[in-house]
Amino acid sequence: MFLPAVLSELLSRLFIHIFAAMATAGKVIKCKAAVAWEPNKPLVIEEIEVAPPQANEVRIKIVATAVCHSDLYHLLESMHKDGFPTVLGHEAAGIVESVGPGVTEFQPGDKVLPLFISQCRECRFCKSPKTNQCEKGWATRPNVMAPLESRLTCKGKKVLQFTGTSTFSEYTVVNQMAVAKIDPAAPLEKVCLLGCGISTGYGAAVNTAKVEPGSTCAVFGLGAVGLAAVMGCKSAGAKRIIAVDINPEKFVKAKVLGATDCVNPKDHDKPISQVLAEMTNGGVDFSLECAGNVGVMRSALESCVKGWGVSVIVGWTDLHDISARPLQLIAGRTWKGSVFGGFKGRDGVPQMVKAYMDKKVKLDEFITHNMTLDQVNDAIELMKHGKCIRTVLKVSSQ
């Protein structure tokens, strides 16, 4: 009795989406979105127009989106004037509403995650197992903005699609090379976190640092990205994981996710790298910087042991140069960086969703607040003041 009931439920939902799509496919959709008109100003909930998907594009009804620090970076830190007006948001999950010509992999009703890093499967980078840097994706969506390609308008003005996604909106349009189809049983209000922060931190430890069993690790910055890095170190078999943050409120969650030691640099007069060196007989095997601060990047490098220490930059900033003494690297340390945890999005995201469904990856622990899209400015304030890990905004009902 149970299975047929589930099946008929799934089928009826599928038909609802197909009928809904028949009503809207090919037409402009007017819907609600949070528009960032100017740097460093609150977002404004506006009615926007979302154009139908063009060739190779997918229009997605966003069900849930979380706020990541990279949204704050664009709005409050980098503040590039030519990056506005825009709709921020890139950590989200939704349902395909309609598809443009040439799209065969997706259908209305599919559950998907939009990706801020594309996977065209054809370029030399996609064909290499060494990287997730897709050439086509970065070429067609240069850097974070794609001014000519935006499908969003508001009050007669083109609105940029931040990272090609723009998920602080009830609907958005994304190129099919930046969409991952996921298990239809996955809860969208949870797996949205895999669209950025959790995959980024977890993958940085597992894919980029390649943390080894029995090793000692340090993670700097314990937002969702850093906490996911802690979880990645643990799942890779690290025996000691030192969690570092200047906000001691973050230590509770760090321990839940696998940290063995927690250190607040503010509790010490010595540089943090020296504190860690003394705790670990010369430094950690792997360090991950998840704060987005060039000073912390240097500290993370200097905290690794000479000979084989590996330090990975995950935090996002393009405002300052990094610096270090050459001898740090000459002595055998490796300094690396990682975007989206090294995952190729269309392959990696469905695997991470499966890992969550199989209880191998945690997500619920990262969600400290549930709100609606209308409360997006409250969610931004919480993150700005270090009062949340992830706030999930409900955008539309399923």
Ligand X SMILES: *[C@@H]1O[C@H](CO)[C@@H](O)[C@H](O)[C@H]1NC(C)=O
Those residues whose C-beta lies under 8 Å from the C-beta of residue 72, and which sit 6 or more positions away, are: 380, 383, 384
Q: Which stretch binds ligand X (CB under 6 A): 40-48, 248-256, 265-273, 366-374?
A: 366-374
Residue 90 is among the residues annotated as catalytic for this protein: yes
Give the Cα separation of 247 and 259 in Å (integer): 15
| Structural tokens at position 21 | 């799509």
Q: Minimum distance between the CB of residue 119 and Zn ion, rounded to whole angstroms?
A: 6
| Structural tokens at position 179 | 């969409």
Give the number of residues in contact with Zn ion, rule: CB under 5 A: 8
* Binder of Zn ion out of 62, 99, 126, 297 (CB under 5 A): 126
What number of CA atoms fall less than 13 Å from residue 211's CA on the CB side?
Answer: 33
Interface positions, 65-104, toward ligand NAD (CB under 6 A): 68-70, 73
Q: Which stretch binds ligand NAD (CB under 6 A): 141-149, 153-161, 292-300, 356-364?
A: 292-300
Q: Minimum distance between the CB of residue 208 and ligand NAD, rounded to whole angstroms?
A: 10
Give the Cα separation of 300 and 209 in Å (integer): 13
Helix 294-302 / helix 272-279 crossing angle, nearest 10 deg? 30
Check binding of 218 to ligand NAD (CB under 6 A). no
Catalytic: which of 17, 31, 69, 70? 70
189 binds, among Zn ion, ligand NAD, ligand X, none (CB under 5 to 8 A by kind): ligand X
367 binds, among Zn ion, ligand NAD, ligand X, none (CB under 5 to 8 A by kind): ligand X
Q: Which stretch binds ligand X (CB under 6 A): 54-62, 120-128, 244-252, 361-369?
A: 361-369
220 binds, among ligand NAD, Zn ion, ligand X, none (CB under 5 to 8 A by kind): ligand NAD
Check binding of 247 to ligand NAD (CB under 6 A). yes
Check binding of 91 to ligand X (CB under 6 A). no
Check binding of 339 to Zn ion (CB under 5 A). no
Using the CB atoms, write b or e for 277-297: b if 16+ within 10 Å.
bebbeebbbbbbbbbbbbebb
Residue 70 is among the residues annotated as catalytic for this protein: yes
> Residue 23 burial by CB count (10 A; 0-12/13-18/19+): exposed, middle or buried?
exposed
Q: Which stretch binds Zn ion (CB under 5 A): 16-24, 134-142, 343-351, 381-389?
A: 134-142
Residue 196 is among the residues annotated as catalytic for this protein: yes
* Binder of ligand NAD out of 95, 144, 205, 291 (CB under 6 A): 291
Those residues whose C-beta lies under 8 Å from the C-beta of residue 54, and which sit 6 or more positions away, are: 100, 101, 151, 173
Would you please indicate which residues are annotated as catalytic (active-site) residues? 68, 70, 74, 90, 196
By the criterion CB under 6 A, which residues form the site for ligand X? 189, 367-370
